[in-house]
Amino acid sequence: MIENFDSLESDFEVQLTPGSVKTAMSAVDAKSRDLWQVPIEAIRVIPGFNVRVKNTSYDQHIEDLAESILREGFKPDKPLAGYVSQEDGVNVISVVDGHCRLEAVRIAISRGAEISRLPVVVSPPGTTMEDLTVSLVSSNSGKELTPYEISMVVRRLVKFGWETQEIAAKLGITQRYVAGLLQLASAPLEIRKMVMEERIAARMAIDAMRDHGDKALAFLLRAEKLANARGQRRVTNKFAPGRAFKKAITKNAPVMAKAIEDLRRDPGYAALGDEVKAQVEKVLEAFEQARKNEADAEEEAEGASEPRQNDEAASGIPNDAEDLFAD
């Protein structure tokens, strides 16, 4: 079950009015050394701002942090990031990076940790909600966001009126990846739930929608059934229906290609039926076109002044996205 499902699914429309840092800190008796030392009870959470999916992995992460804080205390070299805004004329301090650590600290305190203040770095004057939204990815200093969580950030930036190119530049990812994330963010509800609940990998969801359209959910549910039957809770492309057959074709493609070309040259080829010969010719044409495309690509690469980046998967999700973004 996703604890914050409704919050993630709703549009985040909170607007913050900049407040006075000095006044806010004075009001809560925050101490200033190298960093603001702010009373924990004075640090609030902006409803719906954090894009973390509160699933089983999230709960375990918070538990691990809380136990670490109980043993070692709160590490001062990992301060929270805060923003001071005005609400009804009152200056308030909100966390904008470090939500997990704040939650873990409160759990640790409930178990006996003697912590009353946390180090906070306050956003500089002129910081906008767009800046804060980008920082959820670019300034994240804790557990890496999953592709789905990043897709929520991308969706917000689109609602701010940002173009794909600008989003990619600000988040340090490719435009192709941004397109894949937007496709994930707009996936049917049941598919989004499967991703959030870690039942399927984000990339598999994108691939299924690309390859199977409105039949994607049925395809994924079938893959899940196959995975569960083999004792696996999380579904990856390894369990995609038909994958074993496709893998066998790919593995034996060179042999198959030679066999078809030999068949075309065989004296008995003329005796085959017209339909069979048409299919053979179609395959041979595809081979020839592939060779031509490969030759053109090699020629283009040799003439390029700069090395080209490797292409990502057709889904827009890099092959190593699960590692890069810890999905």
294-324 pLDDT, tens digit per residue, is 877 777 776 654 444 444 444 555 544 544 4
Whole-number pLDDT of residue 311: 42
Q: Report whether CATH 3.90.1530.10 matches the domain 5-143.
A: yes
Distance CA 204, CA 195 (A): 9
Helix (H, G, I), strand (E, B) or coil at 118: strand
Quote the pLDDT of residue 197.
92
Grade residue 35 by pLDDT with cuts at 50, 70 and 90: confident
**DSSP symbols for 289-317:** HHHHHHHHHHHHHHH-SSPPPPP--TTSS
CA–CA dist 179, 317 (Å, integer): 9
Whole-number Å distance between alpha carbons of 194 and 308 = 35
User: What's the confidence (pLDDT) of residue 252?
Assistant: 73
Question: At residue 97, does pLDDT exceed 80?
Answer: yes
Which of 108-117, 130-139, 168-177, 224-233 is the least confident region?
Answer: 224-233
Cβ atoms of residues 183 and 314 within 8 Å? no
φ, ψ of residue 79 in degrees (nearest 5):
-70, 160
Mean pLDDT on 38-51: 94
**First vs last C-alpha separation in the chain:** 17
The Cα 125–Cα 65 span in angstroms is: 31
Q: Find the mean pLDDT for residues 136-160.
A: 91
CB 138 within 8 A of CB 172: yes
User: 242 pLDDT band (50/70/90 cuts)?
Assistant: low
**pLDDT at position 34:** 59
Binning pLDDT at 50, 70 and 90, where does residue 247 land? Answer: low
How far apart CA 215 and CA 235 sit, in angstroms, is 17
What pLDDT is attached to residue 7? 66
Q: pTM above the 0.85 mark? A: no
Answer yes or no: is pLDDT of 64 > 90. yes
Q: Report residue 96 as tokens.
A: 């904008």
The residue with tokens 């000095």 is: 22
Q: What is the pLDDT of residue 322?
A: 44
How far is 139 from 77, CA to CA, in rounded Å?
15
Residue 104 near residue 146, CB atoms below 8 Å? no
CB 202 within 8 A of CB 148: yes
Q: Is the predicted pLDDT of residue 133 greater than 70, yes or no?
A: yes
Which regions of the chain carry the CATH code 3.90.1530.10?
Answer: 5-143
Question: Cβ–Cβ contacts within 10 Å for residue 255, how many?
Answer: 9
- Confidence class for position 29, pLDDT limits 50, 70, 90: confident
Q: Is 97 exposed, middle or buried (0-12, 13-18, 19+ CB in 10 A)?
A: buried
Compute the average pLDDT of residues 131-150: 89
